[in-house]
C-alpha cells in the first residue's frame, strides 16, 4: 500500500537528515512555503542564526517600490534586511509563509546571475538594552 501523504513529507537524504536549502549549490535569499509558519529563521553570515516566532512580529516596514530595505519590528528587537528585490520576501513574511531569510555568503555560493531575483546583502539585529538595575548595596544607601 502506498503512502497517500508521501508527497507532503520532507525528503530524507541518504544520511537520514532532512534535505534543506542550507547545503544547496545556489543561493536562495528566502523560502516561501504554502502553509503558515510558526517561526521565521534568520540566517546572517556574521552571527548566530535565530528562529523567531511570528507571534512577536508587530510590523513589516519596507521602502515601497525600491525593494532595498525591509525592517521587521518585533516586541524585543528590530531586524533590518538590506539588499535588492526584497518585495517578495516582505510579502511572504507579511503572510507568515516565509520559512527563512538568508544573507548572501560569497564563500559559499557564486554570485547569483539573475539581477531580478531577491538578494539579501545584510541582516542586522537591533536589540534595545534595558538599563541595569542598581545593585542591592546602592538601593540601601538611598
pLDDT at residue 47, as a whole number: 87
Q: Which of 120, 129, 115 minimizes the C-alpha distance to 80? A: 120
Least reliable range by pLDDT among 4-18, 24-38, 102-116: 4-18
- C-alpha distances out from residue 34 to 15, 95, 112, 113, Å: 27, 10, 25, 26
What is the pTM assigned to this prediction? Answer: 0.74
Q: What are phi and psi of 53, to 5 degrees?
A: -65, 135
**pLDDT tens, position by position, 49-69:** 999 999 999 999 999 889 999
pLDDT at residue 25, as a whole number: 79
Strands 78-84, 30-32: parallel, antiparallel or unpaired by DSSP?
Answer: unpaired
When pLDDT is cut at 50, 70 and 90, the band that residue 129 belongs to is confident
Amino acid at each position: 500500500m502506498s503512502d497517500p501523504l508521501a508527497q507532503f513529507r520532507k525528503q530524507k537524504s541518504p544520511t537520514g537528515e532532512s534535505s534543506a536549502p542550507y547545503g544547496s549549490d545556489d543561493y536562495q535569499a528566502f523560502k516561501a512555503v504554502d502553509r503558515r509558519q510558526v517561526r521565521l529563521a534568520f540566517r546572517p553570515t556574521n552571527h548566530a542564526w535565530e528562529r523567531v516566532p511570528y507571534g512577536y512580529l508587530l510590523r513589516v516596514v519596507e521602502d515601497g517600490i525600491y525593494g532595498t530595505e525591509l525592517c521587521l519590528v518585533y516586541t524585543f528587537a528590530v531586524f533590518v534586511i538590506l539588499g535588492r528585490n526584497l518585495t517578495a520576501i516582505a510579502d511572504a513574511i507579511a503572510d507568515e509563509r516565509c520559512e527563512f531569510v538568508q544573507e548572501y555568503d560569497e564563500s559559499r555560493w557564486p554570485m547569483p546571475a539573475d539581477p531580478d531575483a531577491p538578494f539579501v546583502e545584510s541582516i542586522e539585529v537591533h536589540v534595545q538594552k534595558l538599563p541595569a538595575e542598581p545593585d542591592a548595596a546602592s538601593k540601601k544607601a538611598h
